Amino acid sequence: MRRSQLFIKTRREAPADEEAKNAQLLIRAGFVHKEMAGVYSYLPLGLRVIDNIKQIVREEMDAIGGEEMLLSTLQHPQIWQSTDRWDDAKVDVWFKSALGEGSEVGFGWSHEEPMTRLMTQFVSSYKDLPIYAYQFQTKLRRELRSKSGLLRGREFIMKDLYSFSRDREQHDEFYATVERAYHRVYDRLGIGGITYKTFASGGPFAKFSHEFQTISDIGEDIVFLDQGKKLAINQEVLTDEALSDLGLDRQSLVEKKAVEVGNIFTFGSRYSEPLGLFYTDEKGVQQPVFAGSYGIGVSRLMGLLAELFADERGLVWPSVIAPYKVYLASLGDEAEVKAAADEAYEQLQAAGLSTLYDDRDERPGQKFADADLMGLPYRVVVSQNSLQAGGLELKKRTQTDTRTVPQDQLVQALKNSLQE
């Protein structure tokens, strides 16, 4: 992509109405646009980051048998009434709207009910199970506090997977499989080392649910870590009884702030029974389907990764989710510089190294500042100086030193570095 064709502009100052550092940086770098509190639009670079996060999640969900689909946002009150989750007194995050003639629709804040109801069309026998269906969806929630930028949106992107199993045994096995897949997702995103499986409140079908909490001071949750066991327990469920159930020792726990980046939940027949999702087992007996739900906060992850890895100069994307791998800048308007930069752009593109080419007529200082602010993993600069020194100047976003690479070795140098 040529920078001269990209409509976005970077900003020196953070917008006055934004207090969260993640959103401030993303707005300054032109990745998102703030519509109102808790509501952001994704601009071309921001959308590429979202898509890269989704792709990692998608690969891991597909690998464990997930089938991707997309449910509707508009929700019929009736199915939520049948599980007693339509009433605002029961679920306080609903956005609802009138639909003439005294009827209403809701805007999906979660999808247990519609997904369960939908499955009644397709499930009748034990042979139809298990089913693992997931989607990436924009959820709408009337969050009262929305001051953490992308970490708590009123409109946000979630991956939600729902499992429909024959019985608890089949469910438990898949639940453990999802746990492993989640760890792979967080490892690939570069936060595996600081993301803990965390015990949280369960429900009638399981003593605990599990959250995946990334340790960070920007988090809204308080968790207690057992570093040796690589487990945590959410403050909300920290009782002597819970500790003894889990074999955890209060003395060895450390209190930390954390960001909930995912959560998995066993809900058994909580929704299957009222919505009529039953199947006939091998013996011909009717049974309720045993279900679970598994969320990952895609846009929250974008905000978290933006803030977690940033430095005083701007964003620092892990290369797997960076919108482009390389920020290529030409400095000066000499013909040989332009020609060398154009050639480098062609070479990088041909080699599959996605590149944002700053071909604008801007001062070097502005180009360097933009490269740092946008946080692409590599910066390649072509100038008369670099050509005199024998090629192009290569620098990692996370390092200060630069090195000169001959033009015909640029692609290989980058490929080697990306593999390190």
Q: Which stretch binds ligand ATP (CB under 6 A): 40-48, 238-246, 256-264, 382-390?
A: 256-264
Residues within window 157-176 making contact with ligand ATP, judged by CB under 6 A: 158
300 binds ligand ATP per the rule CB under 6 A: yes
Q: Is 213 in the site for ligand ATP (CB under 6 A)?
A: no
From CA 383, how far away is CA 336, in angstroms rounded? 9
In b/e form, how buried is each residue of 167-200, taking b as 16+ CB within 10 angstroms? beebbeebbeebbebbbbbbebbbbeeebbbbbb
Nearest to 329 by CA among 413, 252, 399, 385: 385
- Joined tokens for residue 8: 């976005």
Q: Interface residues for ligand ATP in 135-154 (CB under 6 A)?
A: 141, 143, 152-153
Question: Least separation, in Å, of the C-beta of 217 and ligand ATP?
Answer: 16
The answer to whether 370 contacts ligand ATP (rule: CB under 6 A) is no
Nearer Cβ to ligand ATP, position 40 or 317? 40
CA gap 333, 233 in Å, rounded: 59
Cα dihedral 215, 162, 279, 117 sign: positive
* 24, 52, 110, 330: residue in contact with ligand ATP (rule CB under 6 A): 110
Between 200 and 340, whose beta carbon lies closer to ligand ATP?
Answer: 200
The yes or no reply on residue 57 touching ligand ATP (CB under 6 A) is no
Residue 148 CB, shortest distance to ligand ATP, in Å, is 8
When asked if residue 196 is in the footprint of ligand ATP (CB under 6 A), the reply is: no
Which of 299, 330, 383, 386 is in the footprint of ligand ATP by CB under 6 A? 299
Of 116-124, 170-178, 260-268, 333-341, which segment contacts ligand ATP by CB under 6 A?
A: 260-268
Task: State the virtual CA torsion across 394, 398, 399, 405 in degrees, nearest 10.
Answer: -10
Q: Is 234 in the site for ligand ATP (CB under 6 A)?
A: no
Q: Decide: is 341 part of the binding site for ligand ATP (CB under 6 A).
A: no
- The residue nearest ligand ATP at its CB is 297
Residue with tokens 């490929």: 415
Q: Which residues contribute to the site for ligand ATP (CB under 6 A)?
A: 110, 141, 143, 152-153, 156, 158, 260-263, 295, 297, 299-300
